Amino acid sequence: MTEKAGNARQRRDLILEQLRGNGGSIHVEDLSRHFGVSVATVRRDLDYLGQDGLITRTYGGAVIGNLRAEQSLREREVSNASAKDAIARSAAELVQPGSTVLLDAGTTTGQLSRYLARIPGLTVLTNGLNALNVFAEADTDVHAIALGGSLRPTNQSTIGPIAESVVRSVHADIAFLGTDCLDAHRGISSRTLEQNSLKTLMALHARRTVVLADSSKLNADWSTYWAPLPSGCTIITDDAAGSEALKPFEEAENFDLSVVELEAEASDEDNARAS
């Protein structure tokens, strides 16, 4: 039903109400239909609210408040680096030679590509430019396939219909997914709907799905866009967050949890160097 507002100020107040009642996010087209005004008018309203710091503009819509500033891929690579490496090494142990792998974009998945490059006979389809660079420079027989699509420079990934069409053409042995936040009930999250859509499709086109998330992402709730965890998937994380943070995931019945012990990993590395 179309809702009429007396003037622009009233409409903007109603837009905020719509956002609050719609889980904190909404699309321009939905607001246009709701208020019976043009898309251009809605965009001007959103720009005005954004200038006041009340909302954050997103691709095709808006979210309430301010999103956490997105770091570049290079900045995220040095954050929790030891945990990401330990998680990547654990994940690589799940891959058999000759497998077909769907590899999501991200820093932990990018680190995983360094271990996948050592496994013979793999076919790896990925939307991560960092992973493609690893395979391009490695002396390996990995058959790397770029998913293609629209470039998202901040996290050096490709997304959109072209990438999704390639994923639909395969059925992989295993898919490795990254995430911005991880919640036992809401699932995995991304900065955009397009990223979530590709992750969901990767999970549908793989016999097994593995989510890689260092402990800083456990129970984080700042994200707007969420996708449910695939039933029966495996989550690999580290123990730095502590038992309370791990508890919701240990109690859940629809997926398996694997926890890498960072102190043990560090001791193994020290012993290896000593020998």
3 in a structural domain: no
Same domain, 251 and 126: yes
Q: How far is CA 98 from CA 95, 116, 123, in A?
A: 9, 11, 7
Same domain, 14 and 55: yes
With a cut of 50, which residues of the chain have pLDDT below it? 77, 264-275
Radius of gyration of the chain (CA): 21
pTM over 0.85: no
* Residue 267: predicted pLDDT: 39
* Residue 15: predicted pLDDT: 85
Q: Residue 195 and residue 45: Cα distance in Å, rounded?
A: 26
* Residue span of the structural domain in which 194 resides: 73-274
Same domain, 127 and 43: no
* Residue 75: predicted pLDDT: 53
Same domain, 100 and 137: yes
33, 64, 95: which is the final residue of a domain?
64
| CATH code: domain of residue 146 | 3.40.50.1360
User: ∠ CA 198-200-205 to the nearest 5 degrees?
Assistant: 90
Same domain, 60 and 139: no
Same domain, 160 and 258: yes
* Residue 68: predicted pLDDT: 55
Cβ distance 64 to 24 under 8 Å?
yes
* Residue 49: predicted pLDDT: 75
1 in a structural domain: no
pLDDT in tens, 213-237: 998 889 887 777 899 988 899 999 9
